[in-house]
Amino acid sequence: MVVSHERSGTHFLINSLSESFNYSKKSLDFDHTDVNINYYAPKNILSILQKLSKVHLANVIKSHHPVGFFSEILGEILDDFHLLYVYRDPRDVMLSLRKQIRFWDWHEGPGTETLQEFIRSAPSGRMMRYQQHQEPSVLHRWESHVRGWMIDTSELLRNKIIYVKYEDLHSDFDSTMQTLAKRVGIDSYSIVRPLPSENVVPPVSKGEVGGYRKHLTPEDDQFVKSVIGGTMNELGYQ
């Protein structure tokens, strides 16, 4: 099971697992499923996941939901699944997320003209499906997501979650995949890096590290740090 905030390298990780560990290339998208899931009823979520765990499918389950949707049942989920949480520099996340929001022809979120406006905007539109309450800005929304999964969850559960830093997967692919193979208990594998064109949902982007530097001024960067700098430091982004 792969979980992340949107535009954090989700498909890059899923495709890497598929290519290297022989999982199916078609993930089970928990966010857009034909199964009737009440995301506000933890027991309903758990019953569906337990049914999937018994089928032994070769598919990776994908979700962008924050931990609050799973908190009551997270221990039981971790008993049945390897859960990988992939995270990325929030400035690159914001750059990619704004680009995606402006690509769709529906109200996915604040479709601002500039990245500077976007990082100061409150969540809106269809992106709200991943929230249990409103956040002051998209930066706060990112912070709530990563803190919930990585920092504020109990140590017992954190020790069972496998954390993947996007920048490590991007820049040190083979070593990162070898570490993941050990964590999920796979002995026989062949490391294959997927093509960049396979790693994203529209719009296609380069997935580069530090691309935000071309779009954010030093003042904008300081604004980001004034809002979520503490969490960025805890995750090694500074």
pLDDT in tens, 74-112: 999 999 999 999 999 999 999 999 999 999 989 999 999
Cα 125 from Cα 175, distance rounded (Å) = 39
The pLDDT tens digits of the residues spanning 126-183 come to 999 999 999 999 999 999 999 999 999 999 999 999 999 999 999 999 999 999 999 9
Query: What does the pLDDT read at residue 35?
Result: 64
Cα 61 from Cα 85, distance rounded (Å) = 12
Query: What does the pLDDT read at residue 55?
Result: 83
Cα 80 from Cα 68, distance rounded (Å) = 19
Quote the mean pLDDT of the chain.
92
**pTM beyond 0.85, yes or no:** yes
* pLDDT bracket for residue 33 (50, 70, 90): low
* Of the candidate ranges 19-23, 38-42, 203-207, 213-217, the one whose mean pLDDT is the lowest: 203-207
Per DSSP (E only), the strands in 20-169 are 28-29, 61-63, 84-87, 162-165
Evaluated on CA atoms 175, 177, 180, 184, the torsion sign reads negative
Domains of the chain: 2-235 (3.40.50.300)
Q: Residues 47-55: what's their mean pLDDT?
A: 87
* pLDDT bracket for residue 73 (50, 70, 90): very high
Query: What does the pLDDT read at residue 152?
Result: 96
Cα 208 from Cα 83, distance rounded (Å) = 25
Query: What does the pLDDT read at residue 199?
Result: 65
Give first-to-last CA distance, the chain, whole Å.
29
The secondary structure of residue 18, as a DSSP letter, is H
Residue 198 reports pLDDT greater than 80: no
Query: What does the pLDDT read at residue 79?
Result: 94
Query: What does the pLDDT read at residue 197?
Result: 76
Count the neighbouring beta carbons within 10 Å of the beta carbon of residue 147. Answer: 18
Query: What does the pLDDT read at residue 32?
Result: 72
* pLDDT bracket for residue 56 (50, 70, 90): confident
Exposed, middle or buried by CB within 10 Å (0-12, 13-18, 19+), for 159? exposed
b/e for 204-224, b at 16 or more Cβ within 10 A? ebebeeebbeebbeeebeebb
Residues 6+ apart with CB under 8 A from 74: 67, 153, 157
